[in-house]
Amino acid sequence: MIIAIIYFSATGNTQRIKNVIKEELINLGNEIQEFNLANRSVRENFSSFKLFDAVIFGFPVYFWRAPRLVREWFKTKNGMNRRCSLFFTYGGAHIGVAHHNMKQILASCSFNLITSAEFLAKHTFNVAGFQFMENRPDNEDFKIARKFASICHHKFLEEIVNPLIFDLPIKSEEEVDKIEVSFRRAIPTPYIDVKLCTECGVCQKVCPTNAMDITKGKARRNYCIRCLRCLYNCPEKAIKMPNMTSHYKLMKNTLRLTDEILKNKKSRIYC
Ligand SMILES: Cc1cc2nc3c(=O)[nH]c(=O)nc-3n(C[C@H](O)[C@H](O)[C@H](O)COP(=O)(O)O)c2cc1C
């Protein structure tokens, strides 16, 4: 089969899981074409799914769902009844309504979702004081990723597959919209330490939304999606993030996340 892996990875976690899935699918005899939607040009130039027998989508969880710009990208897409699978990486805080929401989006663009999975991964904001899932994904997560790839391969080939069913979401879309707006407002934007910056332009180039403004030394607040791709990619380590330890403590308390609960979280497959 020719399988497309379409993913969004700003800081590498989703990409690492994707790499394991890709390797396993190649071992099983498939040809893979991959697209990282974090790159503006990839998002803009992607033309059609008709070249592929099946598709695997992989996204990070941002505020309980796939990133907004990914959800919007699907608005003009047609899956032409292709079979697809989906996986998320998330920082262990809350998977939210990610699976259910994306299942609906995929159905509305004529995709047939047959398998899904979620993987624990270091929280993006650990660089700014969070302490969620620091050493994940680990070998156990990669093992589950390999198993997921094998399940996808076999289900893509099966004559008949059962539809994938998720529990009803714990909150409505409107409630999750409100959560997203309030979280986003509360999260600071990255800024440039001018003493370290050589104006190489990498931060502007890698930003998924063209939000970084070198001349002002900071990201434009309304465009910045807080993915921190600029910070993780800056060769001079000149991009900084204000400390978010108080956000971390508040989130941990509100969600009642004890160290024990966090330690016992596991990656999992739905099929
Ligand atoms: C803006 C933003 C929002 C996030 N929201 C959540 C969330 O709701 N729940 C969670 O557990 N992790 C959340 N995370 C953590 C990411 O899902 C996690 O670190 C992910 O693996 C990052 O993927 P990447 O490295 O491929 O970009 C968020 C991260 C960012 C940057």
Q: Angle of helix 13-27 relative to helix 139-157, nearest 10 degrees? A: 50
pTM: 0.96
Atom of ligand 1 nearest to the CA of 119: 21
The torsion of the CA quartet 127, 35, 38, 169, rounded to 10 degrees, works out to: -80
What pLDDT is recorded for position 238?
A: 97
Residue 184 CA: nearest ligand 1 atom is 1
Compute, in angstroms, the gap from residue 50 CA to the centroid of ligand 1.
31
Phi and psi at 81, nearest 5°, equal: 60, 20
pLDDT of residue 165: 84
Q: Where are the beta strands (DSSP E) in 65-170?
A: 83-90, 112-120
| Ligand 1 atom, smallest distance to 12 CA | 25
Give the Cα separation of 154 and 192 in Å (integer). 48
Q: What is the DSSP letter of 62?
A: B
How far apart (Å, rounded) are the C-alpha atoms in residues 10 and 8? 7
Q: Which residues of the chain have pLDDT under 50?
A: none
pLDDT digit string (tens) for 87-116? 999 999 999 999 999 999 999 999 999 999
pLDDT of residue 161: 85
> Domains of the chain (ranges plus CATH)?
2-170 (3.40.50.360), 188-263 (3.30.70.20)
Tens digits of per-residue pLDDT, 69-90?
Answer: 999 999 999 999 999 999 999 9
Which residues have C-beta atoms less than 6 Å from ligand 1?
9-15, 60-64, 89-94, 96, 121-124, 226-228
